Each structure stands twice: as structure tokens, then as C-alpha cells.
Structure 1
Amino acid sequence: MLDYNELEGTVPSAISNCSSLVHLSAEGNGITGVIPAGIAALPKIQVINLSHNKLSGYLATSFFCNGSVYPPSLQIVQLGFNAFAEILHPQSSRCFSSLRVLDIQHNQIHGDFPFFLTDNSALSSLDLSGNLFSGTIPSSIGNLLRLEQLRIGNNSFEGNIPASLSSLSSLITLDLSGNNLSGKIPENLTVLPKLVNFNVSNNKLEGQIPVKLGYHFNDPSDFSGNQGLCGEPLNRKCERTGNGKNRLIMFIAVSASGGLLLASCCCFYIYALLRWRRKLKEKAAGEKKHSPARVSSRTSGSRGSGNNAGPKLVMFNNRITVAETIEATREFDEENVLSRTRHGVLFKACYSDGMLLSICRLPDRSLDENTFRKEAESLGRVKHRNLTVLRGYYAGPPDLRLLAYDYMPNGNLATLLQEASHQDGGHVLNWPMRHLVALGIARGLAFLHAASIIHGDVKPQNVLFDADFEAHLSDFGLDKLTVATPAEPSSSTSIGTIGYVAPEATLTGEATRQSDIYSFGIVLLELLTGKKSLMFSQDEDIVKWVKRQLQRGQISELLEPGLLELDPESSEWEEFLLGVKVGLLCTAPDPLDRPTMTDTVFMLEGCRVDQISLS
């Protein structure tokens, strides 16, 4: 990997002869010229990431595999933010028969929608946004049944939104904004079960916004810029059509029918009430002689089912059976996996009544049932607005251990930072939002420390966002429930994740409050600068890099592209500098020199810059 190394020049043509090459990544450099022909036809190549460079030319030449004797192995192609001008040729389709991710956003590519991509059943993410595409969106796009991300905004597509999009049951993000699309928004888009991000703004759409769609996506900016659209959330009334006299007759008929129905219901209610009172009096004497003990159990009963509905998930506010939970996760299907942590696997659970939960399945034989229940009950009492709250649990044979949390629809901080680095102008993570995220993480961690709970693995992947993009710290307090089993042995350890673990924790093998504070400091510096802690060499880490920029007075080098517009004379600029210095305080080499999380929250909430000094 050669990411962000200020490389210049062209991609060597000899690289097309590297038959053992698997992963080519040189993102964020100054590479010019064209991509040498034959790279995509290499026998083992899986990833090509050359985004954020100055490449140009024709992609069709570089991605021509029809003559290759090797079966295609390419899975990820990321070429966004370059200057390519021509779209891939249909003859390139063989290169992409195994492709899962294609990102060619923000180039100068023109032509029709690459229809040959719709034959690729493996494709899960397609980003064509910010180009010069035109023509219509093919209805065959409904063939991409595994597609999760579809971003084709800021092009010149026209025609109707294809109704076949409703077939994409795995779709999470649909961005059609900034085109010339016309007609109505298809009503059947409301059936997409996983859709979280939706944007059709700045088109030529008309008609009423489907009611369910407007209810789920209630931000007017998702629909703005369409003069013909009406309904919620635009707060623009739709004009009624039809004969006024007919509507009046219909209203009278409906009102009369409703009145008769209401009268009938009242009569039936009065009759049932009298009958119930009579039976109650008849049984009063018998109930005095026979008073069976009332049995209450937090695990009895379920929604619409009796006591024989099977084992129950112990929920603190409602009751759900384990069978319903297994069904909601599609029997813990791989497609429902949200993340893998050192404590277990997190699944998305979609229940039949529309409720969403995140279900963490812990490793088998974690703890005996009684101990597990005791620890889970204790963990369920840890509640804070910036923590993922445990909503329920299950412990039963055969060694099945489950934890139920609120579903967080907006992913984690690692993903959000990655998306923010690809945005012109930093619209995803501006300064106020970064400040709120930092405060949210700090408040959640301070609450844990006040409750004598050590997190042990503070990192961007463990910061989740709810529907309002409020930060929630996750994956804490689970050491007592299971023996840690890292899902990624190369990066996870028993005391945290490489790149975020405090130096003293690495030596002692023990996580402490001070090591948590160090990890928070690394996350804070990542949040402010957009730099990943793992992108540095062994001789230089993110802390040393930040200190060097401050010593040289090159503060602008610390700014993420979305923060370059900060005015050096503004209070936001002071807040940014404060955040940087707080991050350095939290990562002090000596654990005793680090502030407590309570002090850290205080500083981030408004302490002046001149009150903090660094040695």
C-alpha cells in the first residue's frame, strides 16, 4: 500500500507483469497519466485503489479482460476523484464478473449508464456520482439483488425512476440527486426493508411523495429542488382533482355509514359490559375460596403468543421469543452481519412488526447461564445517551448467548470518516458535527469510568450513530460475559486494537482508565485531522505528526478538506485548536499526565485555549 505518500509520475507499465499482485493501492497521491493495460487481467488481482490522484485517459483500455486466460478475480475498483473521461466498454464486462465494489465518482466520464454492470450478481456498491453520465437508468438495474449502495447523483440522467429498484431488497443507500429525472417517485420504493439513506433532490420529479417514504425520510432536503413534488416532508399541499359534487356525496355516504357503525359498536359495548359484570358477581364467591398464586416471570409471554411459544429473550421493556429473533436475523445469516468484534458478531434483526434491533451473538460456552444472567442484568442498568444501551439478553441451551441493543442505522465513525474524506466541501462532517461527536464519545467514556467500567477498546469502529447522528460508544462491559476472541487477529488484541492501544497497556497487558483516555485521544486526533492512525510508519505515529505540524506552525496541514474554510479569526478555529491540544494531552507518554475523562469533557465543552499549556 502506497496511500498518501506524495507520489508523482505515472503508474509503471511493468506492473502489468506482476502475476502475483493481489492488492494495488496508491490513494491520495499526485499520480498522472493512464492506467497501464492488462492490470485488471492479472491472475490474482483483487483490489485496485487509485482514487484521489490525477489519472486520466480511457478506462476501456486498462480494463479489457476478454482475451485473458485467467478467470476474473477483481473484486474492488476505486478510481474516484481523478480525470477519466470515458466509461468502461461492454467488452470490459468479463473483468467485472466478480466485482463487488465499483467507485468511479467525481471524474469526467460521459456516456450512458454502463448497462453491462447490471448482469453482475455480486455487485454490492456502485458509485457513479459527480460525472457526466446521461440517458436513462435501465430497468435491468433490478437484477443487482445484492446491491447495498447505489450513488449516481450529480449527473445528467433523465427519464423516470425505474420501478425495478424495489427488487433491491439489500439496498441501504439510494442517491439519485442532481439529475434530470422526471415523473413520479415509484410507490413501491416504500417496500425496501433496509433503506436508510434516500435522496432525490434537485431533479424534475412531480406528483405526491409516497406517504410511507415521506414518513421514513422526513428531511425536506432529501426531496427539495423538485418543483412538481408535493406532500410531506416538503410541507407543500397537493392539489386535489375530481368533481366537487361527487366528493360531497361520497363524504355524506361515508359519514352516514360511520355513524351507523359507531352506534352499533356502542350498543355492543354496553351489552358486553353488562354481561361481564353479571359473570363477575356470579364468580365472586368462588374466587374468595380459591385464590391461586399469581406467577410472574420476565421471560413468560410474547407478542401474540402463549406460554408455549418457546424460549424467550429476556427484554427489559417488552418480550420477544428466541425463535422470532433467529427469524429476524435470517438464522444469523452472513448478509445480516453488521460487524465483528473481539467479543462476538453483531447482526441486524428485522422483526415482522417492523422493529429493528442489533443482536450480538457471543461465542459458545461463554459463561454458565446463571453467571451470564447476573452480569447481563448488571450491564443492562448502565444507561447513558452516548452509550449503546443493553435492551435484553438470552442465555440457554445449546450454549446460545445473545445480547440485544438498539439498532444504529447510520453506521460507525470509521465509515463516516471514510465517507467524509471523499466529499467536496466536507458536507458529511463539518466542524460543529465533529465537535458534537467528540463530546459524545467523551461523555459516554466519562460515564463508564464513573461507574468503574473500563472500556478497553476505544476506536472509531466502536462509535455508532443513531438516526439523528448522535454518537454512542459501544462494545463495553463484555469482558465479564465472554472470553475475548478477536475477529481480526492481525489488528485486535486482548487489550484493544493496534494503533489505539496505550504504550503501557501493551507492556502490562492490562487495560486501565488511563489507557482508555489514550485511545480516546487517538480517536479525537483522527476525528479532527482525518488521518488514520495506521497510515503512519513505525517511526512516526499520528501524535508525533500532529506535534511536528504545530511546532512548524503548519496548522493548515492538520485540517481535513472539509475544515479548510475555518476562519483563523473565528471561535470555531479556537475550538479546533483546543480539540487538537486536548487530543495531545490525552496521549501523553506518562499516564499520570493525562487528564481524566471528566476534565476532558470540561475542556471540550468550552474551556479557553489559553488555559491549556503543553510542555
Structure 2
Amino acid sequence: MPATYGYLPSLQVLSASHNRICGKLPVELANCSNLTVLDLRSNQLTGPIPGDFARLGELEELDLSHNQLSRKIPPEISNCSSLVTLKLDDNHLGGEIPASLSNLSKLQTLDLSSNNLTGSIPASLAQIPGMLSLNVSHNELSGEIPAMLGSRFGTPSVFASNPNLCGPPLENECSAYWQHRRRQRLQRLALLIGVVAATVLLLVLFCCCCVYSLLRWRRRFIEKRDGVKKRRRSPGRGSGSSGTSTDSVSQPKLIMFNSRITYADTVEATRQFDEENVLSRGRHGLVFKACYNDGTVLAILRLPSTSSDGAVVIEEGSFRKEAESLGKVKHRNLTVLRGYYAGPPPDVRLLVYDYMPNGNLATLLQEASHQDGHILNWPMRHLIALGVSRGLAFLHQSGVVHGDVKPQNILFDADFEPHLSDFGLEPMVVTAGAAAAAAAASTSATTTVGSLGYVAPDAAAAGQATREGDVYSFGIVLLELLTGRRPGMFAGEDEDIVKWVKRQLQRGAVAELLEPGLLELDPESSEWEEFLLGIKVGLLCTAPDPLDRPAMGDVVFMLEGCRVGPDIPSSADPTSQPSPA
């Protein structure tokens, strides 16, 4: 409906019924002061009836029926004192019928049927002397029909289809209606009482739980305090200072950096280091899952008293020093040491880490190969490579060489943020028989470094972990991550994963490099170029000459430029230090 109609001051009749006019009623129509007929029935008008229509003092007929008008009937409509016909039926009008409609003394026809009107029928409508036709059926009106209106318009259809309306000429008795209202009020009251009672009960239970937890904590605190006092006061039935010294030394402690978990709690959480709680078996020992009573879940690395290659656990003082130093190495893409346990030899040593619920990269790659790679798209693989490179670069910047970078040592937290693990543990194990080791080293390098397929040839030959060797291992992991080919797939062949990648590039068969789940990459897309750049970074890291390999800080820089987009924040640990570059 054009608003420009409001600029026709001489307009008297506006009839546009049975069209497809949509939108809201223009307020500007109120400027047509000479308008006597406004007929817009059977259209698709929406929105409210403007209260400005009250300025139409000459309006005799207002027909807005069979539209989609909503909201309330404006009480200002009663200012249209010349109205003879008011039809607002078959709309979506709500609210109550304005009692001010009784001021329309010339009104003869009032049709408000088929709307969503609520409340009671105003008794003042009976005061309109010349009203000949009334229809308020098919609404949500309630209460008793005013007696004068009921006798004046005795046809039940005038008031029909209002479930809560009662009184003549309808058959509904008002006594039944009020009984129904009373039952509704009682039901609401009962519901309110039930909600309040349930809330009070929950509050009481909550308070009881808090009191119980407080008493339990107090009892444990007192027991620990009394136990410490007993150990300090008396060594037993015997006497002498040597007994006290022995007792204080023989009490092992679990040192936690940011919590108060005890060794006894850890033994209970792992079910006395039950075999069922083993998460993984590495060359440095077993990793157990520890579920504590307060809901905390941690991973416990248990270093054995002797290793398979004849090594022995470092003595207690040096172990504490190494653990304290390792606990200061914190980065969002490294597994952070949360605590350690140091008892007297030959007892085992424990290292406490955050629990990583989503396993390691090796398992994830295996699952991806079984599901055509769809669980590992290109953006996710890129974020994994970037996270691992950042963690390894931070290790090198901190003066730590990893020595065994492989998919099994890349763990994922609840948000699939990658964390490089199993680093800094070599100083905690010393080789038994230093002289024998020195003699062996003079003839040939027999020290085991890294894992088969991932260790750099130069590091394996020297028997010593180096930063360049870490870069090589990372390159192998990157190529495996991008191609889905494990280094072990080339065992027994005169080829490895590096040679295979180079051969595919020389043949121009770049598509052969793609993991099945990455075959959806468009060769014309930017993701294709990013994938090729990732392959080139992997080849740079696996250069035969260690001096030709880039530093991990440069690898981070190249991978960060490989894809433009915001990093996904880590939710694991507040130790999100920036990566070195």
C-alpha cells in the first residue's frame, strides 16, 4: 500500500479489496481527513492497526477483514465518531476488546470474529443505541456474556467458539465456568507449592552434601596432620636418633606443583597400578590412567627400576632436580609435567601428566585410513602439523632435544589440540657401567636413538639425539600426516617414504600423494597449493645433510604461512606461550 495515498487530502473512498496487497498499513492514510470509506478486506496486510486512524473523523466504514493484522485493537479507534461499520474479522488480533468502542454512538455493525481476542466482553457495548449486528465468535473470550447483549443478540452463533464464554444465549452455565476456573487456580497453586517444595528439598540436599564434604575434608586433614606429628615424635618402641632419621627418609612423597594429590590417592586412582589401567607402553615405562575421587583424571608415567637395555633409574636427588627442571618447560603443544614421585631405590619413580582423552596421532591416522580419511581433512592436518612444530621449536629454544619424534608421542586433548610428549626423560635414566659404555662407544655407537623409520640416519649412526635429528623425524611425521603412508610400509624395499614422495613428484603424479580423504582437494584451489607447500616442508626437513635442514623456528614460520586463518585456542593448559620464530 503506497504511503503516498496519504497526500490526497480530497480522497473520500479508498476501496482495494480482494487483491494481494501485503505489508503494513501506512500511517500516512490518517492524513486523508475527508476519507469516508476505507475498504481493504481480503488482502495480505500484516502488522498493527495504526492508532493514528483516530484522526479520520469523517470515516463511516472501516473494513480490514480477512487479512493478517496482529497486536491489539487500538482504543483510539473510538475517536472516529462517524463510524457506522467496523469489520476486523478473520485476522490475528489479540488482547481485550476496548471498552471505549462504546463511544461510537453511530455504530451499526461490529464484527470482531475469528481473531485471538481474550478477556471478557465489555458490558458497555450494550450502550451503543443503533448497533444492529454484532459478531465476536471464534475468539478466546472468557467470562459471562453481559445480560443486555445476550438478550439483544440472542443468536448463539454471535458468541460461538469461545470455550470459556458462558451465559445466555449460550448453553454453557457460568457456574460450571467458575468451577473450572477455581480448579485451574487450585492446580496452579498445587504446582507452585510442588516447585517450591522441590526447590527447598534440593537446597537442603545441597547443604547436606557441602557439610558432609567439609567434615570429610576436615577429618582427612586432621588424620594427615596427626600422622605427620606421629612420624616426627616417635620412631617406634626403640629409642635413638637413627630410628627417626630412617623413618623420615623412608616416607615417599608425591610432589604436585598445583594440587594436593597424595601418593596414596594415586595408588588408589590406578588401582595399585593395575594392568587394566595401562594407557601405553613406551621405552621409558608404562603410562597409567589415574581416576581420582574428585573426578580428576591424570596420566602417570611409571619409570621402572631397571630398563631393558641395562639402565638404572637415576638416584633420588638427581631425579628430583631433573623433574623440577622438566616441570618448568610449559607450552600449549607440550604435555606439561604436573608432579612427580621420588622414593628411595629400588622403588620406582612416577611422573604425573595431564590425561589426553583422544589418544595419539598414530591411532588417529589408522582410523582415518579405515574411514577413507574423512575424519582428517586438510585444515585439521595442517593444525596438527603446526601445533607439533611449535611445541618442538619451543623445546629446542629451551635447550631440550626430544630424540624420539613419532606419531605415538603426539597426543590429543579433549579439543584435539596436539601435545608432543615423552621428551626430557633421557637424563632421568643413566647407563649402568659408565666405563663399559665408554669402551663400547670407542668402537661403535650402540646407543639406541629414536624409533625405526623416524630416526635420522646421522643420529642413528652417531648414537646421539640432536636438534637436526628432531627436524628429520618431524619431517617424516609430516609426510606421513599428509600422505597417510607409514614408514613401515616400505620395509624390505629399496625405498623409504622420502624417496617415494620424491619419485611421485618427479613423475608428476601428485594426486598419488594424497590421503584418500584429501582427494576432494581441487587442483585449482588454494588448499592444493597449501598441501604441496606442506610436502615441500617435509622434504626440506628430511634433507640428507643435517646442515641443509631448517631450524624448527623456520619450519613454524613456513607452516604458518601455509594457511591463512585464526588459530584454534587451546582449552587445556594456561601455558600458551608463543612459538619461537
TM-score range, shorter chain: 0.5 to 0.7
Give the alignment partner of residue 560 of structure 2, picking from 598, 605, 609.
605
Q: Give matches, 1:170-181, under 5 Å.
A: none
Cα separation, partners in 2 of 1:569 and 1:305, compared to 1, 3 Å: farther
The question of 1:471 aligning with 2:426 is answered: no
CA–CA distance in structure 2, aligned partners of residues 521 and 604 of structure 1: 12
Cα separation, partners in 2 of 1:324 and 1:553, compared to 1, 3 Å: same
Question: Match of 1:416, as an amino acid?
Answer: L
CA–CA distance in structure 1, aligned partners of residues 352 and 318 of structure 2: 18
Q: Give matches, 1:36-185, under 5 Å.
A: none
Post-superposition offset of 1:312: 3.3
Post-superposition offset of 1:484: 7.9
Are the equivalent residues in 1 in contact too, given 2:447–2:463 (CA < 8 A)? no
Aligned to 2:190: 246
Cα separation, partners in 2 of 1:504 and 1:255, compared to 1, 3 Å: closer
Are the equivalent residues in 1 in contact too, given 2:252–2:342 (CA < 8 A)? no
Are the equivalent residues in 2 in contact too, given 1:387–1:444 (CA < 8 A)? yes
Task: Please tell me the root mean square deviation across aligned C-alpha atoms, in Å.
Answer: 2.9
Are the equivalent residues in 2 in contact too, given 1:448–1:454 (CA < 8 A)? yes
Are the equivalent residues in 2 in contact too, given 1:312–1:322 (CA < 8 A)? yes
Q: Give matches, 1:457-536, under 5 Å.
A: 457-483=404-430, 494-536=448-490
CA–CA distance in structure 1, aligned partners of residues 368 and 221 of structure 2: 41
Are the equivalent residues in 2 in contact too, given 1:521–1:584 (CA < 8 A)? yes
Question: Match of 1:579, as an amino acid?
Answer: G
Residues 379-438 of structure 1, C-alpha deviations (whole Å, 9 max, x = no match)? 0000000000000001013522000000000000000000000114x3311110000000
Cα separation, partners in 2 of 1:346 and 1:493, compared to 1, 3 Å: farther
Question: Match of 2:464, as an amino acid?
Answer: E
The question of 1:432 aligning with 2:373 is answered: no
Are the equivalent residues in 2 in contact too, given 1:441–1:463 (CA < 8 A)? yes
CA–CA distance in structure 1, aligned partners of residues 431 and 363 of structure 2: 24
Aligned to 2:126: none
Where 1:320 maps in the other structure, the secondary structure is: coil
Give the alignment partner of residue 542 of structure 2, picking from 576, 587, 604.
587
Cα separation, partners in 2 of 1:420 and 1:453, compared to 1, 3 Å: same
Aligned to 1:576: 531
Are the equivalent residues in 2 in contact too, given 1:484–1:494 (CA < 8 A)? no
Where 2:287 maps in the other structure, the secondary structure is: strand
Where 1:386 maps in the other structure, the secondary structure is: coil
Cα separation, partners in 2 of 1:433 and 1:251, compared to 1, 3 Å: same
Residues 337-375 of structure 1, C-alpha deviations (whole Å, 9 max, x = no match)? 111111111111111221100000002151111111111
Cα separation, partners in 2 of 1:483 and 1:526, compared to 1, 3 Å: farther
The question of 1:395 aligning with 2:359 is answered: no
Mean Cα displacement is larger for which, 362-371 or 432-441?
Answer: 362-371
Cα separation, partners in 2 of 1:302 and 1:602, compared to 1, 3 Å: farther
Where 2:424 maps in the other structure, the secondary structure is: coil
Are the equivalent residues in 1 in contact too, given 2:257–2:339 (CA < 8 A)? yes
Where 2:402 maps in the other structure, the secondary structure is: coil
Instruction: Using structure 1 for the length normalisation, give the TM-score.
Output: 0.50
Aligned to 1:298: none
Where 2:314 maps in the other structure, the secondary structure is: coil
Residues 208-255 of structure 1, C-alpha deviations (whole Å, 9 max, x = no match)? xxxxxxxxxxxxxxxxxxxxxxxxxxxxxxxxxx96443212234467
Aligned to 1:317: 258
CA–CA distance in structure 1, aligned partners of residues 274 and 333 of structure 2: 29
The question of 1:352 aligning with 2:293 is answered: yes
Are the equivalent residues in 1 in contact too, given 2:530–2:562 (CA < 8 A)? no
Aligned to 2:245: none
Post-superposition offset of 1:510: 1.1
Aligned to 2:365: 417
Where 1:467 maps in the other structure, the secondary structure is: coil
Where 2:288 maps in the other structure, the secondary structure is: strand
Question: Match of 1:306, as an amino acid?
Answer: K
Are the equivalent residues in 2 in contact too, given 1:343–1:484 (CA < 8 A)? no
Where 1:511 maps in the other structure, the secondary structure is: coil
Are the equivalent residues in 1 in contact too, given 2:412–2:419 (CA < 8 A)? yes
Where 2:481 maps in the other structure, the secondary structure is: helix
Post-superposition offset of 1:515: 0.4
Post-superposition offset of 1:571: 1.1
Question: Match of 2:508, as an amino acid?
Answer: G
Aligned to 1:566: 521
Where 2:341 maps in the other structure, the secondary structure is: strand
Cα separation, partners in 2 of 1:255 and 1:510, compared to 1, 3 Å: closer
Question: Match of 1:565, as an amino acid?
Answer: E
Cα separation, partners in 2 of 1:254 and 1:377, compared to 1, 3 Å: same
Mean Cα displacement is larger for which, 321-330 or 585-594?
Answer: 321-330
CA–CA distance in structure 1, aligned partners of residues 537 and 256 of structure 2: 39
Are the equivalent residues in 2 in contact too, given 1:357–1:407 (CA < 8 A)? yes
- What is the aligned length? 324
Question: Match of 2:191, as an amino acid?
Answer: R
Higher helix share goes to which structure? 2
Post-superposition offset of 1:311: 4.2
Greater relative contact order (CA < 8 Å, ≥ 6 in sequence): 2
Cα separation, partners in 2 of 1:256 and 1:541, compared to 1, 3 Å: closer
Stretches of structure 2 that go unaligned for 5 or more consecutive residues are 1-185, 209-218, 229-250, 306-311, 433-445, 565-581
Question: Match of 2:300, as an amino acid?
Answer: I
Question: Match of 2:318, as an amino acid?
Answer: T
CA–CA distance in structure 2, aligned partners of residues 408 and 421 of structure 1: 22
Question: Match of 1:469, as an amino acid?
Answer: F
Cα separation, partners in 2 of 1:414 and 1:255, compared to 1, 3 Å: closer
Larger Rg: 2
Aligned to 2:327: 380
Question: Match of 1:524, as an amino acid?
Answer: L
The question of 1:543 aligning with 2:498 is answered: yes
CA–CA distance in structure 1, aligned partners of residues 538 and 395 of structure 2: 19
Give the alignment partner of residue 508 of structure 2, picking from 553, 563, 570.
553
Where 2:349 maps in the other structure, the secondary structure is: strand
Residues 517-562 of structure 1, C-alpha deviations (whole Å, 9 max, x = no match)? 0000000000000000011034100000000000111011000010
Question: Match of 2:342, as an amino acid?
Answer: A
Question: Match of 1:251, as an amino acid?
Answer: V
Aligned to 2:224: 306
CA–CA distance in structure 2, aligned partners of residues 326 and 578 of structure 1: 48
CA–CA distance in structure 2, aligned partners of residues 251 and 574 of structure 1: 61
CA–CA distance in structure 2, aligned partners of residues 389 and 556 of structure 1: 39
CA–CA distance in structure 2, aligned partners of residues 580 and 355 of structure 1: 40
Cα separation, partners in 2 of 1:410 and 1:252, compared to 1, 3 Å: closer
CA–CA distance in structure 2, aligned partners of residues 305 and 587 of structure 1: 58
Post-superposition offset of 1:450: 0.3
Residues 301-327 of structure 1, C-alpha deviations (whole Å, 9 max, x = no match)? 987852428743100001222121111
Are the equivalent residues in 2 in contact too, given 1:302–1:319 (CA < 8 A)? no
Question: Match of 2:296, as an amino acid?
Answer: M
Cα separation, partners in 2 of 1:484 and 1:521, compared to 1, 3 Å: farther
Question: Match of 1:482, as an amino acid?
Answer: V
Stretches of structure 1 that go unaligned for 5 or more consecutive residues are 1-241, 266-300, 486-491, 610-615
Question: Match of 1:394, as an amino acid?
Answer: Y
Aligned to 1:408: 356
CA–CA distance in structure 1, aligned partners of residues 429 and 201 of structure 2: 61
CA–CA distance in structure 1, aligned partners of residues 189 and 412 of structure 2: 51
Cα separation, partners in 2 of 1:556 and 1:305, compared to 1, 3 Å: farther
Are the equivalent residues in 1 in contact too, given 2:253–2:343 (CA < 8 A)? no
CA–CA distance in structure 1, aligned partners of residues 366 and 536 of structure 2: 23
Aligned to 2:156: none
